[in-house]
Amino acid sequence: MQLTIPDVDQPLVAIISGGTQGLGEAVARKLLADGAAGLLLAGRSPERGHALADELSGLGTPTVFTAADMIDTSAPQMLVDACVERFGTVTGVVNIAAATSRANLFADTVEHFDRMMAVNVRAPYFLIQAAARVMVEQGTGGSIVSVGSTSGYGGQPKLAAYSISKGALSVMTKNLAFALMQHNIRVNQVNPGWMETESEHRTQIEHDHAPENWLELAAPTRPLGRLVQPWEAANAIAYCLSPVSGLMTGNIIDIDQSVQGAGDPPLPGPEDTIQP
């Protein structure tokens, strides 16, 4: 049997929410290396966003930055409109922007919970809606990848609302993959585990009160002796976006150092005990 590679002539014009640093920047650089036809980076830092967009444009992939806070209900449509205005189309979406603040059940508030759902669930849902409308109207098809978390399988007590939001994102991925299949629009999800990024460093210091050398202490506790690197998740995201991934849709891909459901189930430790 002769194996064939899918047609890769369809240009990739992608929106990356949360695309100016960490995993978003790694994805943008990977798509540049893969020959993307155009990128729109969305984020809250104009300084970082414009600098990265200028650099990627200079390296060969036309890239623009659009300032956006994904809690804003107008942001999803605004990003798609900006992408179509600049590039004439949108054929890929990467949902990375997320809120990650901590709160257990007894410490949570309505305001915090609503923010988690707004940024982590509502925003990607309506960004997919706006982009999919363009893909259907233009008949291009497309590929969408949302970034979830292994915490979406249950998560830690201190990440209650965050974990719930990422669980909802997984259901969204499967529901929309099924709904959009006949339009040749694929929807997949990549779940990074504990990943080494600038934002994770700030979270460890500011929210978990970890020492400055937390990474040096954390790495030996991981099976492979290090945390997940952004490039590893970026490679999986780029693969899902590419026609080379074929008919893959509705998949949840874990980039982690554990196997869900295997081994003894974890037992709560002292740090997991919460009090009203």
Print burial letters for 149-182: b (CB count within 10 Å at least 16), e (below 16).
bbbbbebebbbbbbbbbbbbbbebbbebbeebee
Q: Is 162 a catalytic residue?
A: yes
Q: Is 80 exposed, middle or buried (0-12, 13-18, 19+ CB in 10 A)?
A: buried
- Name which of 86, 19, 84, 96 is nearest 56 in CA terms: 19
SS3 content of the chain, % helix, strand, coil (to 5): 45, 15, 40
Collapsing DSSP to helix, strand or coil, 29 comes out as helix
What span, in angstroms and rounded, lies between the C-alpha atoms of 71 and 54? Answer: 26
Q: Which residues are tagged catalytic? A: 162
